[in-house]
């Protein structure tokens, strides 16, 4: 979710207005993903690097997050969506952590879709934590054990990664999990990103040939 600040600045508004509009886009896209039968939707809401932003902007983001957790409760329950936080949510203000934990517990058994909120998330930090826990357990390390030690344990790998706002980089997001993800980059700023944009990204994903290292002919079943 990138481009909130630019969206606001282009209109002469405070960046916080962009974040507020961005929160509306979150509602739209969560609803659309659920309608489309997406199993897991992960939103990169706040990175470990975002702590470097001005205190005021961080405070506004935390307020918005609080409002989101309060307002989306009924929607998540009604639509059978399980909430999960990835990252280091313990870094967040206590009041936010409490709300987050309560909502995660209340939605834990919802099976239609999982909504991962990446909060104080950094993929490198997640990997370090995973390797450290494996080191303590001992024994040989393999890919399955690493996957089970990540915060996305039990979830499928990322199929499609969409980045809004025109940048073409991963910015420390799900580096392991997105190893074979199809990447879609769009100029659209996050507050403008709507259901049509989301559908278009899904359509583009549908047109990609995913070979996982094999040849096109192998994937077609023409050759073994």
Which of 13, 14, 31, 50 is the binder for ligand IPE (CB under 6 A)? Answer: 50
Other beta carbons less than 10 A from residue 21's beta carbon:
18
In which element (H, E) is residue 11 found? none
Q: Is 50 a catalytic residue?
A: yes
Active site residue 148: no
CA distances from 121 to 9, 41, 155, 192, 198 (A): 26, 15, 17, 24, 23
How far apart, in whole angstroms, are the C-alpha atoms of residue 36 and residue 200? 12
Alpha-carbon gap, residue 41 to 63, rounded angstroms = 22
Under rule CB under 5 A, residue 2 binds Mg ion? yes
Establish if 186 lies at the interface with ligand IPE (CB under 6 A). no
User: Interface with Mg ion by CB under 5 A: which range of 1-9, 113-121, 141-149, 192-200?
Assistant: 1-9
Smallest gap from residue 148 Cβ to ligand IPE (A): 29
By beta-carbon proximity to Mg ion, the closer residue of 129 and 192 is 192
Segment interacting with Mg ion (CB under 5 A) among 2-10, 24-32, 54-62, 209-217: 2-10
- Distance in Å, CB of 29 to Mg ion, minimum: 17
6 binds, among Mg ion, ligand IPE, none (CB under 5 to 8 A by kind): ligand IPE
Specify the residue for token string 């073409």: 168
Q: Is 126 in the site for Mg ion (CB under 5 A)?
A: no
CA distance 146 to 148: 5
Spatial separation of the C-alpha atoms in residues 153 and 112, rounded to whole Å:
17
**In this complex, which beta carbon is closest to Mg ion, that of residue 2 or of residue 21?**
2
- Taking only Cα atoms into account, the Rg of the chain, rounded to an integer number of angstroms, comes to 18
Task: Work out the number of other CB atoms within 10 angstroms of the CB of residue 186.
Answer: 19
169 contact partners, CB below 8 Å, separation of at least 6 = 163
| Among Mg ion, ligand IPE, none, residue 20 binds (CB under 5-8 Å by kind) | none
Number of residues that bind ligand IPE (CB under 6 A): 13
User: Binding string, 107-146, against ligand IPE, x = CB under 6 A?
Assistant: ----------------------------------------
What is the rounded CA–CA span in Å between residue 14 and residue 223? Answer: 58
Contacting positions for ligand IPE (CB under 6 A): 1-6, 19, 22, 46, 50, 61, 165, 190
**Catalytically annotated residues:** 2, 50
Contacting positions for Mg ion (CB under 5 A): 2
């Amino acid at each position: 979710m990138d481009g909130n600040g630019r969206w606001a600045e282009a209109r002469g508004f405070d960046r916080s207005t962009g974040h507020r509009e961005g929160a509306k886009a979150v509602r739209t896209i969560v609803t659309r993903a659920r309608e489309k039968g997406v199993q897991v939707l992960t939103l990169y809401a706040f990175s470990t690097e975002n702590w470097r932003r001005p205190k005021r902007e961080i405070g506004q983001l935390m307020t918005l997050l609080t409002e989101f957790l309060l307002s989306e409760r009924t929607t998540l329950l009604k639509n059978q969506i399980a909430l999960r936080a990835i990252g280091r949510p313990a870094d967040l203000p206590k009041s936010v952590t409490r709300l987050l934990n309560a909502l995660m517990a209340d939605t834990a058994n919802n099976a239609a879709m999982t909504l991962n909120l990446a909060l104080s998330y950094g993929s490198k930090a997640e990997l370090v934590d995973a390797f450290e826990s494996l080191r303590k357990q001992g024994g040989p390390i393999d890919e399955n054990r690493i996957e089970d030690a990540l915060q996305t344990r039990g979830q499928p790998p990322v199929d499609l990664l969409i980045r809004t706002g025109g940048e073409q980089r991963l910015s420390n997001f799900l580096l392991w999990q997105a190893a074979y993800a199809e990447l879609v980059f769009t100029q659209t700023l996050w507050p403008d990103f709507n259901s049509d944009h989301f559908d278009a990204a899904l359509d583009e994903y549908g047109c990609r040939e995913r070979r996982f290292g094999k040849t096109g002919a192998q994937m077609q079943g023409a050759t073994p």
